[in-house]
């Protein structure tokens, strides 16, 4: 295998907080509704049902949240082949390329 034939690839993740913001809000609403349901059932004779309800709702909703996040992440990964000898430039607006603010 000739080392001159190996292409270099550029790996870029373009995921921003705005891409997953809606997913986080929906899951927070789900947790809030489950807690409200638990508080409503706390007055029952068996409060263990209230805790089981919260656990069940969180347990069942977490895989959907993780699936949505992972698929969103994978959709924002770019892998492009670069020409040999070309210089890769930083992506404008990429958070990782920003400099911290000076401390005064």
What are 10-30's pLDDT values in tens digits? 878 888 888 888 888 988 898
Q: How far apart are CA 69 and CA 24, in angstroms?
A: 9
- Residue 71's pLDDT band (boundaries 50, 70, 90)? very high
Q: How far apart are CA 12 and CA 8, in angstroms?
A: 13
pTM greater than 0.85 (yes/no): no
Of all residues in the chain, the percent with pLDDT exceeding 70 is 75
- Structural domain boundaries of the chain? 29-82
DSSP code at position 37: H
């Amino acid at each position: 295998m000739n080392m001159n034939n190996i292409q270099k690839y550029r790996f870029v993740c373009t995921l921003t907080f705005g891409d997953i913001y809606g997913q986080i809000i929906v899951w927070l609403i789900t947790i809030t509704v489950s807690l409200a349901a638990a508080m409503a059932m706390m007055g029952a004779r068996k409060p263990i049902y209230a805790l089981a309800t919260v656990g069940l709702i969180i347990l069942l909703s977490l895989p959907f949240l993780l699936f949505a996040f992972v698929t969103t992440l994978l959709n924002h990964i770019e892998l492009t082949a670069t020409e040999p000898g070309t210089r890769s430039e930083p992506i404008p607006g990429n958070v990782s390329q920003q400099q911290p603010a000076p401390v005064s």
